[in-house]
């Protein structure tokens, strides 16, 4: 599905416009009609982690009766430990995570190619809150009913709800494409070279991105 979505060109493209670069050296991050394009910077990596533990570690007759177990080992060199007690148990996988160094630089328009791209990334990571009023249970229920075609009981409550940060599509070098991702952090250097108007001419933006859920085996190609 991500490949099909990616074929629809976004209306607002910000970031590196250098067509001399191979697309296999670029990163695209898209949300809605906005897409940020940068160069894959040094240190960009992907991390896949599974959670394994040893819940039976130390379970043996010798450990239940510590003194007698210790005497058995001391006198005979034998142990009541078994390989079963060291068996690791899977307790789920972590979502795929990406540490991305996104290199941005300006050729013609630093306001769009660098500053605009950074601003877009910050907006992709930000929520859309509607004020300081607490969200009532009625407002949440109204939103659920609206999603499934029902009618809200009170439109007044719906106006108090906001939205969490949206998902992004991540495309690294056209070979690593993930549809449902979230931006966890954006780190921007402020001490880089600047234009006469005060816009950054280049920046290595550090991003922490992860898939929203763990990936099943049939989702990894």
User: Do 31 and 122 meet the contact criterion of CB atoms below 8 Å apart?
Assistant: no
pTM, two decimal places: 0.74
Q: What is the pLDDT of residues 165-216, one digit of tens each?
A: 999 999 999 988 999 999 999 999 999 899 999 999 999 999 999 999 999 9
Rounded distance, CA 133 to CA 161, Å?
9
Rounded distance, CA 183 to CA 207, Å?
7
Question: How long a stretch of residues is the chain?
Answer: 221
Average pLDDT, the chain: 83
- The DSSP output letter for 112 is I
Average pLDDT in the 87-105 region? 94
The confidence band for 4, taking pLDDT boundaries of 50, 70 and 90, is very low
Q: Which two tokens stand for residue 68?
A: 């007698």
Residues contacting residue 57 through CB under 8 Å, at least 6 positions apart: 85, 86
- The DSSP output letter for 135 is P
Domain residue limits, the chain: 2-50+58-216
pLDDT at 68 over 70: no
Q: What is the pLDDT of residues 109-165, one digit of tens each?
A: 999 999 999 999 999 999 998 765 555 666 666 777 777 766 655 444 445 678 999
Question: What local confidence, expressed as pLDDT, does residue 76 receive?
Answer: 76
Percent of the chain with pLDDT over 90: 56
Percent of the chain with pLDDT over 70: 76
Rounded distance, CA 140 to CA 146, Å?
10
Average pLDDT in the 78-90 region? 77
Question: What local confidence, expressed as pLDDT, does residue 152 receive?
Answer: 54
């Amino acid at each position: 599905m991500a490949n099909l979505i990616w074929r629809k060109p976004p209306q607002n493209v910000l970031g590196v416009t250098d067509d001399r670069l191979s697309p296999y050296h670029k990163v695209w991050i898209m949300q809605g009609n906005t897409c940020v394009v940068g160069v894959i910077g040094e240190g960009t990596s992907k991390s896949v982690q599974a959670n394994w533990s040893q819940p039976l570690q130390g379970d043996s007759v010798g450990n239940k009766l510590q003194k007698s177990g210790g005497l058995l080992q001391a006198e005979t060199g034998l142990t009541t430990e078994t390989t079963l007690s060291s068996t690791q148990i899977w307790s789920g996988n972590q979502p795929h995570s990406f540490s991305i160094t996104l290199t941005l630089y300006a050729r013609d328009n630093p306001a769009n190619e660098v500053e605009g791209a950074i601003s877009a990334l910050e907006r992709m990571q930000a929520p859309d809150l509607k004020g300081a009023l607490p969200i009532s249970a009625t407002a949440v229920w109204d939103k659920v009913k609206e999603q499934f075609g029902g009618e809200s009981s009170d439109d007044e409550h719906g106006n108090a709800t906001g939205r969490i940060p949206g998902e992004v599509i991540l495309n690294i070098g056209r070979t690593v494409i993930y549809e449902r991702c979230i931006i966890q952090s954006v780190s921007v250097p402020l001490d880089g070279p600047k234009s006469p108007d005060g816009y950054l001419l280049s920046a290595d933006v550090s991003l922490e991105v992860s898939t929203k859920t763990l990936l099943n085996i049939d989702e990894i190609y």
